[in-house]
A and B are shown apart, each in its own frame.
Chain A
């Protein structure tokens, strides 16, 4: 299994509070991704990183920010959580930008915004 750890695994918080999710990898892969999974939508890309301090937006980036200060850590922050951000969040990693290789996923964080 790819060495990907997401923390926390579960979190319940209130609307308007800041929330930070962490993704830690031990594979030294360059690319890291944050997705959210919602019923009827599959997984959708929020943000991704192509190196330390190098990040860009994905399909559903509004309301989210990310940071990557070290190769192994990729943080997802909800500055002011809303109920629409209740979801399961997955981190993924990949070795390079070539198309013919899969991304590998962590076990997810279930986030509930009340």
Chain B
């Protein structure tokens, strides 16, 4: 059973508007959450993260919100730009035997339309 889920395979947003990507998780032991952005034929690139002791982290146009009671996180991109078109993965971190294990969602393909 998937511990991290992104239920929207794709999202289309107009340039300049807000993009909201969602992610749900089931394991309450996860204590660090990350968003990665991926272009075709490239590896995932780290975008932003949040610790479970916070409920919001902001970095320029990108903000991640964490709702621990609902086991839900979201990524807000404001304003959306054409270069934001990519696949976005959320990931949750757990420490097992001293090593960080990332569990990824299935990804959401974001398309920014001019």
| Most chain A beta-carbon contacts within 10 A, residue among B41, B94, B95, B100 | B100
Name the interface residues of B91-114: CB closer than 8 Å to any CB of A: 91, 93-95, 97-102, 104-107
A interface, how many residues as a size bin? 20 to 34
State the main secondary structure of chain B at its contact with A.
strand
Known: A105-B43, A107-B42. A99 touches B93 (CB 8 A): yes
Contact of A106 among B43, B51, B97, B102 (CB under 8 A): B43
Contact of B101 among A58, A101, A106, A108 (CB under 8 A): A58
Q: Are B106 and A42 in contact (CB under 8 A)?
A: yes
Q: Which residue of B lies closest to A9 (CB)?
A: B41
Q: Are A90 and B44 in contact (CB under 8 A)?
A: yes
Q: Which residue of A lies closest to B45 (CB)?
A: A105
Q: Are B41 and A107 in contact (CB under 8 A)?
A: yes
User: Is B89 at the interface (CB under 8 A from chain A)?
Assistant: yes
User: Is B58 at the interface (CB under 8 A from chain A)?
Assistant: no
Name the interface residues of A69-112: CB closer than 8 Å to any CB of B: 90, 92, 94, 97-108
Contact of B43 among A56, A90, A99 (CB under 8 A): A90
Closest beta carbon of chain A to B98's beta carbon, Å? 5
Please name all residues of chain B whose beta carbon is closer than 8 Å to the beta carbon of A97 when the two chains form the complex: 95, 98-100
Contact of B100 among A40, A56, A103, A108 (CB under 8 A): A103
Interface residue ranges, B against A (CB under 8 Å): 4, 6, 31-32, 34, 36, 41-46, 49, 51, 89, 91, 93-95, 97-102, 104-107
Interface residue ranges, A against B (CB under 8 Å): 4, 31, 33, 40-45, 48, 50, 56, 58, 90, 92, 94, 97-108
Selected A-B contacts with CB under 8 Å, 11 pairs: A40-B106, A42-B6, A42-B104, A43-B44, A43-B89, A43-B102, A45-B102, A48-B99, A56-B97, A90-B44, A97-B98
